Amino acid sequence: MGMMKEFKEFAIKGNMVELAIAVIIGAAFSKIISSLVDDVITPLLLKPALEAANLQDLDKLVIFGTVKVGVFLSAVLNFLIVAFILFLLIKGINRFKRKEEAAAPVTPEEIILLREIRDALKK
């Protein structure tokens, strides 16, 4: 019975629940980003290359009969775009954190006066 109690404490901790929620939201957000990259951005960026190769679909961009260059290019672009989006997201979050850090908590006047009295008594 002690092991079940330990597991319950472990599983119900605030960090664990927050992590589970983050994973679920991340999975849903991943689908949105994948669709944006695969269905919108990648075709727009690779359209000139596809037209030069007389292809309609990126999956059909193949060299030497078996090397799927189009799929590889799509994966590389997908990674670069997702990495850039994450960079911008983290940069924005860091900007807000810096603003919070810059706004130092104001010490109440009573505390300042008590510190001055303490320092005067020490002298």
Torsion sign, CA atoms 36, 41, 46, 50:
positive
pLDDT given for residue 23 in this prediction = 86
pLDDT given for residue 12 in this prediction = 72
pLDDT given for residue 27 in this prediction = 83
pLDDT given for residue 100 in this prediction = 65
Separation CA 66–CA 3 (nearest Å): 54
Contacts of 70 (CB under 8 A, 6+ apart): 46, 50, 55, 57, 58, 59, 60, 61, 62
The more confidently predicted of residues 18 and 122 is 122
- Residue at token pair 């505390």: 111
| CA 50 from centroid of its chain's CA atoms | 31
- Longest CA span, the chain: 89
**Residue 20 binned pLDDT confidence (cut-offs 50, 70, 90):** confident
Mean pLDDT of 105-118: 83
First-to-last CA distance in the chain? 61
| CA 6 from centroid of its chain's CA atoms | 32
Mean pLDDT of the chain: 78
